[in-house]
Amino acid sequence: MKNVLRALKIKAVNEGVSTGLESWAGNGRMLSSYSPVDGALIGKVRQATHDDYEKVITKAEEAFKVWRQVPAPKRGEIVRQMGDALRANKDNLGRLVSYEMGKSLQEGWGEVQEMIDICDFAVGLSRQLYGLSMHSERLQHRMYEQWHPLGVVGIISAFNFPVAVWSWNAMLAWVCGDVCIWKPSEKTPLSAIACQQIIQEVLRNNDVPEGVSGLIIGDRKVGEWLADDTRVPLVSATGSTRMGKAVGQAVASRLGRSLLELGGNNAIIVTENADLQIVIPAVVFGAVGTAGQRCTTTRRLILHESIYEDVKNRLVKIYSQLRIGNPLDTNNHVGPLIDTDAVRSYVSAIEKVKAEGGKILTGNEVLSGGDYESGCYVKPTIVEVSQQTPMVCHETFAPILYLIKYKTLDEAIAIQNGVPQGLSSAIFTLNIREAEQFLAAGGSDCGIANVNIGTSGAEIGGAFGGEKETGGGRESGSDAWRNYMRRQTNTINYSTQLPLAQGIKFDI
Ligand code: NAD
């Protein structure tokens, strides 16, 4: 890991990493980043004080005055260079993400690939920030709308996608002409510093002020500064529903804008007409991939009674063969949870669901000794439930899969929708009527609804996000860019008269 850190220009890891940048300041308490893979200390970082925060905001406000004047396609060209810089650093950054977060190396590299993809998307977008033109009801008048940058965008991100979610926001915001301040998860600060170094080099090469990309490291307090700050017109926050409620309320109380990407409780419905050959890998990847720590992880499996026993038996067999261990070893299927607090949540959730009548089919074990010395490895667990108890309705960020039996598709859809969250959903069926019913207005109430594809693993081209307690925000593709801009309607009179709208007369 030392070589990886050196290649990513992360120095002085034991004294509190420093970069010499004003857009990333830290003079506060020391924060240590430990790897959940083996429990080793990776490095120490100084957290931002309120004074540091003020410096970063000032830099950002100064930079905005310059950046908003740069033509959008030119901003796109700089984002293209950022994509190239990420390509050049993909191997090392992917390794750091894997080691600091605990996801597999494939997923670490995949996360960097997602950053590269969103750069490409943003470059094209920089020439497509379209507004509409309308026909004015008044003679010799022209009416149209245009989109202007908003200003300073605050980005609060979660530990499970330590870098990709930031890039979904930042790359779009940058081509839109905004400047960004990133508050990464306090559990993955080094991955964020590595990104900041990569981006700053590109900004320097283009003579762009460093305040275009600011970074503030710290715990929730630092996130609260952003949420409360009237100088930050948009706060995009990814994380738990608890966090989203706090940030959403703080931003709303000052009438700012928030974009919330919160918890999910995603289900797959498997009908009697499903192709079980593709169901099984989709469920296993969705439920145990990233050790159940994706917002789109499959947490509930709603099975038609005719195939229930068959699917259940196949899953239990596969779960018994899963290899759990160091995620950097490509032979392993399941890595660690992020920390021992997450392990405690796993244990407590299983205890509670048992008390609610759930039957454990496999799993329910914290692994120890040998390769598991970090204390963060658990066995993926399957629990059979007869109804959606409070624990089933709750998002536990761990590999716990609940099996639920149904008779009719109406009943299955009601179960799928019967939780507070609304992020991702899927149906497996070869019957077009069932598929269309699931996708229709009375079907899935989620932001993402798939047919014959599992719940996790979205592409950047679509708008990503969900309803209800998932927060309602949309990021990444489609027209999500509009979140980062303000709309202005312009009416231009090129006549010699001053006609009023709606034919109103006002003679003086
Ligand atoms: P978390 O809510 O504990 O922390 C997320 C971020 O919010 C961190 O940077 C944290 O410091 C900050 N924060 C916490 N409380 C805050 C407050 N009151 N004010 C301001 N900032 C605050 O979440 P986590 O454990 O890092 O991540 C897991 C959660 O994130 C899960 O619920 C998962 O579903 C969700 N998630 C959602 C998406 C999505 O796109 N919907 C994507 C990834 C993760």
Q: Across the strands, what pairs with 298?
A: 266
Cα separation, 106 vs 116, in Å, equals: 15
Rounded distance from Cα 486 to ligand 1 centre (Å): 26
pLDDT at 172: 98
Cα separations in angstroms, 444 against 5, 239, 266, 447, 456: 44, 23, 11, 9, 16
Environment class of residue 258 by beta-carbon count within 10 Å: exposed (0-12), middle (13-18) or buried (19+)?
buried
> Which candidate, 288, 297, 381, 382, places its Cα nearest to that of 336?
288
Q: Which amino acid is at 332?
A: N
261 catalytic per annotation: yes
Range 244-251, long-range pairs (CB < 8 A, 24+ positions): 244/469, 244/471, 247/156, 247/223, 248/471, 250/224, 251/227
- The whole-model pTM stands at 0.97
Question: According to the 3-state scheme, what is the secondary structure of 453-508?
Answer: CCCCCCCCCCEECCEECCCCCCEECCCHHHHHEEEEEEEEECCCCCCCHHHCCCCC
Would you say the CB of residue 262 lies under 6 angstroms from ligand 1?
Answer: yes
Q: Which amino acid is at 80?
A: R
pLDDT at 11: 79
Would you say the CB of residue 395 lies under 6 angstroms from ligand 1?
Answer: yes
Rounded distance from Cα 239 to ligand 1 centre (Å): 2
Would you say the CB of residue 299 lies under 6 angstroms from ligand 1?
Answer: no
Count the alpha carbons within 13 Å of 252 in the hemisphere toward its beta carbon. 8
Would you say the CB of residue 238 lies under 6 angstroms from ligand 1?
Answer: yes
Residue nearest to atom 8 of ligand 1 (CA): 185
Would you say the CB of residue 246 lies under 6 angstroms from ligand 1?
Answer: yes
Point out the ligand 1 atom lying closest to the alpha carbon of residue 187: 26
pLDDT in tens, the chain (508 residues): 889 999 998 877 777 776 667 777 788 999 999 999 999 999 999 999 999 999 999 999 999 999 999 999 999 999 999 999 999 999 999 999 999 999 999 999 999 999 999 999 999 999 999 999 999 999 999 999 999 999 999 999 999 999 999 999 999 999 999 999 999 999 999 999 999 999 999 999 999 999 999 999 999 999 999 999 999 999 999 999 999 999 999 999 999 999 999 999 999 999 999 999 999 999 999 999 999 999 999 999 999 999 999 999 999 999 999 999 999 999 999 999 999 999 999 999 999 999 999 999 999 999 999 899 999 999 999 999 999 999 999 999 999 999 999 999 999 999 999 999 999 999 999 999 999 999 999 999 999 999 999 999 889 999 999 999 999 999 999 999 999 999 999 999 999 999 999 999 998 8
Point out the ligand 1 atom lying closest to the alpha carbon of residue 185: 9
Cα separation, 462 vs 474, in Å, equals: 9
Cβ–Cβ under 8 Å, residues 279 and 269: no
Cβ–Cβ under 8 Å, residues 421 and 241: yes
Start-end of H helices in 206-240 = 220-228
The length of the chain is 508
Would you say the CB of residue 481 lies under 6 angstroms from ligand 1?
Answer: no
Cα separation, 151 vs 295, in Å, equals: 28
Would you say the CB of residue 423 lies under 6 angstroms from ligand 1?
Answer: yes
Q: Which amino acid is at 43?
A: G
Cα separations in angstroms, 102 against 64, 266, 340, 343, 382: 36, 22, 13, 13, 22
pLDDT at 327: 95
Would you say the CB of residue 185 lies under 6 angstroms from ligand 1?
Answer: yes
Cα separation, 264 vs 248, in Å, equals: 17
Rounded distance from Cα 427 to ligand 1 centre (Å): 28
Q: Taking each helix axis from N to C terminus, what angle separates 72-88 and 189-205, rounded to the nearest 10 degrees?
A: 130
Cα separations in angstroms, 21 against 27, 65, 158, 202: 13, 19, 23, 14
Rounded distance from Cα 262 to ligand 1 centre (Å): 7
Structure tokens at 335: 């890595």
pLDDT at 24: 76
Rounded distance from Cα 493 to ligand 1 centre (Å): 49
Given the residues 210, 261, 395, 469, the one annotated as active site = 261
Among 100, 114, 232, 295, which residue has the most ligand 1 atoms within 8 Å of its CB, making it the best to mutate?
Answer: 295
Would you say the CB of residue 31 lies under 6 angstroms from ligand 1?
Answer: no
Helical (H) or strand (E) element with 412: helix 409-417
Rounded distance from Cα 457 to ligand 1 centre (Å): 19
Q: What φ, ψ does residue 445 adopt, rounded to 5°?
A: -100, 20
Rounded distance from Cα 377 to ligand 1 centre (Å): 21
Residue nearest to atom 9 of ligand 1 (CA): 185
pLDDT at 19: 62
Handedness of CA 183, 186, 188, 193 (dihedral sign): positive
Residue nearest to atom 39 of ligand 1 (CA): 261
Cβ–Cβ under 8 Å, residues 230 and 57: no
Cβ–Cβ under 8 Å, residues 278 and 272: no
157 three-state secondary structure? coil
Point out the ligand 1 atom lying closest to the alpha carbon of residue 338: 25
Q: What φ, ψ does residue 32 adopt, rounded to 5°?
A: -100, 135
Point out the ligand 1 atom lying closest to the alpha carbon of residue 250: 19
Rounded distance from Cα 215 to ligand 1 centre (Å): 17
Among 100, 111, 156, 455, which residue has the most ligand 1 atoms within 8 Å of its CB, making it the best to mutate?
Answer: 156
Cα separation, 52 vs 48, in Å, equals: 5
Would you say the CB of residue 301 lies under 6 angstroms from ligand 1?
Answer: no
Interface ipTM = 0.98
